[in-house]
Amino acid sequence: QVHLLESGGGLVEAGGSLSLSCIMSGGTMSRFVMGWFRQAPGKEREMVARISRAGTSTYLEGVKDRCTISRDDAKNMAYLQMHNLEPEDTAVYYCAASDGYFYTSETARDFLSWGQGTQVTVSS
């Protein structure tokens, strides 16, 4: 079975940067659409970014100018680079994989495999 493991979360001051990493085991990442999601307490889980098997990416409107999603299929890894972080970015960030089409992989329920999450806390 596919397993995902995130790393790179932590505490950062507003305006700072973080890079999150996700490694896949038990599967071949090139087969999947990869996504990064976040969930803050009391809020719905939302997609931050997704990247297709071919490298096409989309972003949540509120982060599109501050985040970059990337993938390195040879290493079975995906990344989310974040800068100019805001307190509103505080959440648990999850790596997820979908075996569906890119255009149908839009919400959390469309993603098959999930990591355990990594906490990102942005102080004001």
Relative to beta strand 46-51, strand 57-59 is antiparallel
pLDDT digits (tens, 9 = 90+) for 49-88: 999 999 999 999 999 999 999 999 999 999 999 999 999 9
In angstroms, rounded to a whole number, what is the distance separating the alpha carbons of residues 30 and 116?
21
Q: 30 φ, ψ to 5°?
A: -60, -15
pLDDT digits (tens, 9 = 90+) for 23-43: 999 999 999 999 999 999 999
DSSP per residue, the chain: --EEEEE--EEEETT--EEEEEEEESS-GGGSEEEEEEE-TTS--EEEEEE-TTS-EEE-TTTTTTEEEEEEGGGTEEEEEE-S--GGG-EEEEEEEE-S-GGG--SGGG--EE---EEEEEE-
With pLDDT > 70 as the criterion, what percentage of the chain qualifies?
100
